[in-house]
Chain A
Amino acid sequence: MISSKRNTTKSFNRVRTVLIIGMTAIGLLLTGCAGVNYLRDAQSAFSEAARLENQLRTSSTTATEANDLLLESEIRAGYASAIASIAKLDSAQIASLKSDKLWGVVLTIKALSYWRLGEYDKMEKIAKQAQGIEDQVYPRDRALLLALPGLRRVDEAHAIIAADIRGKDRSEETKIKEERLKTVERLVKNATAILIEARQSVSEEHSVRSYLLQSELGGYKNLLDARNKFRTGGRLNPAEVEEVKQLLTKLDCSFKHFLKEDDLLVARTKVVLAWQVRFGLVNSDFSCRELGPF
């Protein structure tokens, strides 16, 4: 009876020892993941800022100007936080991330954050660094890095439209408007070409296509705004409208590739329709036929 009890106690102690050793080993290994943790922090900060920014841009609810300003500063803080998390990486952690082939992800987040903060030089510098590590850049990030110059041009076009026009007289203002319109047209044209290239770098099934398609549509919306602002009542010409229509159909196809059921329905009824409204194409049907019925 006593012997049996002693044996049981021994077995228990062994198991406990193994568990302690195992946990210690895992803990030690995960301690080497600090760099990945910083990256994850950066990803989280970036995604949250992007979510807020998209909400601010597309929400139908009317917010006050003060709320918008608060939100904007929160968004900028989010992107800055993403960059700050990456900046915490020491050389060992950087080496570890490179060894884990995560360096491309790091650079992509950093470049995207600089883009959103309007620090285009830094954005380009980081994007160039990424070109040197092709083996560490994966399809989504590759497409985004390719798209960045195009995304920048879309932003620049928007900034031109939003800027005040101050000429000494009406004719000078008209001249300024025409010059600005030409600049916007050139920027949007370049942006479109770049975004198409980026889009073509991924398969049709890849979800990043829907983002790139919407970015192209954003460029066209800026072109529409510029025409309307700089030439009262100006709009897209029929060829440009046709291009927008094709983009809308492609957007629908893109959603259809990677979304199912309710998610697809929401994407179509909210996202595609919102773009239709922006371009005055609410009465047209942009359902993706090539992938069969909805």
Chain B
Amino acid sequence: MRIKNESNLLPSRDLTTAEHLSDEILAAQVARGDSVALEALYDRHAASVLGVLLKVIGDRPTAEDALQETFWRVWKSAASYESERGAFTGWLFRIARNLAIDAYRRMNVRPQVLSNPEDIDAVSDRTSDPNTDVAEQAQADFRNRQVRSALTSLPLVQRQVIELAYFYGMTRQEIAEATGEALGTIHTRARLGLQKLREEFEREEFEG
């Protein structure tokens, strides 16, 4: 793993110190075998990762197992993460997504988004956790609302294609088959959906 500023790469002495370090610094420390850094990353992101895993897998015990496996893989392969190639969270969610898709395929269940395309997660259940930093949570919830708002602004059929492809790893042919639409229609919906999503993010960032 390569990271530009190596001044903070000494092992984390305690969790309180580690909590103030960036994800990328902590990931570099994990690559050096620092379990306190891993714990800090877990405390910071486990709830978001579990949200994604639960959305796809739909079964709480299996999702919790996948959560443990996600951070175990972070522990074992942090050295392969390169901060120059993107944010740590992108790498983390890619690991989680792949595990979720594997579990979802093993369970052979129907994606929720096919049954209830209008369903979208609305409320975080982490507010009851007394250890969660209030300011940090407020910031995360704000960003959460922004992204959800952008996603809900899409026509249902476009959002459905994006969610089936991203969260469930379905190929365009599988989506066409599952929705009963022509392949060309699926292509158009994905393209327009991503384009609109990008425009929404840009607009919200500009306004925010």
A binds B: no
Q: Give A contacts to B, CB under 8 Å.
A: none
Residues of B bordering A, CB below 8 Å: none
